[in-house]
Structure 1
Amino acid sequence: MDTTALRSAYEKFFETTARPDLGEAADGGWNADQVLAHVLSVDAATAAVALSVVSGARPTFDNRVCLDGRNLDRIIAEHAGRAELIARVRSQAAVLCDIADQLGDEDSAVLVPAFLMSGDELLLDQPVPLAALIDGLAENHVPVHTRQLAELSRQPRA
């Protein structure tokens, strides 16, 4: 797989995480740490699915655990502050990209049953090629959360 677009999306994401003025969401949504924990969880789950495909297993991808507040709180609590959390997200993103770089055409084409939610909205409930699952991170997921963080930097701190 070509991960150029994914790596570029992460570069923009990490540029945004470096802003010192990330505040709270005005609408009561996720704060910066919760966004980071979510991205970390999604990246780890996607990497696990990719490795499972390579091993010959036929996994499913379900992002509900990546949205669960208790899971996000657990991830945040495992890190000593935002800088450490950002470093972990950066490391996990690199792992995911490195795994994707090594996927051949056959593995990339494996259909993965996917269940994707955003809040209470069902986005997807059907099999997708592994490549599409990974490309979706570059095309949608990472840019959406980059914009979300950028919006947080414009909000007054609580």
Structure 2
Amino acid sequence: MTESLLSERRGSVLRLTLNRPDKLNAIDVPLLDALTAALEAAERDPEVRAIVLAGAGRAFCAGADIGQMIERTPDDWERTVDHYLDPIRAISRMGKPVVARLHGNVFGGGLGLAIACDFRVAADDARFCAPFVKLALAGCDMSAGYFLPRLIGLGRAT
């Protein structure tokens, strides 16, 4: 089984790579947990001075793995949606810069993850999409609805 999150240190920079390229790095619960744990560990590690968040394969991140959410009860759904904010909370509390290295699809929760970072560097092929409302997932935006207007202004975000 392939690790869903790769971690590589180069000097004081930690590179975390979402590694589900067959699913365009869609975030499932194991990846969510691994990413949150890695971010929290990086915050505590005095040797890490910056974090780069990237995606393996042809996309940064296609968002949440919707397939794993279909069978959820309403209570499960609420807990899961809150759980998807854990890496966003970790980035927000981070006392070190987090850089999103973006390419290909930066969709849904992947967009939320990217805009929660301190800096974003996008390749020419990066495509951004916030499909939450059209998918009836307005509460599942991984903070995009909070950060996007603050990043680009309300007029451009709506």
Q: Same fold (TM over 0.5)?
A: no
TM-score of the pair, normalised by structure 2: 0.35
TM-score of the pair, normalised by structure 1: 0.35
Name the structure, 1 or 2, with higher relative contact order (CA <8 Å, separation 6+): 1
Q: Which has the higher helix share?
A: 1
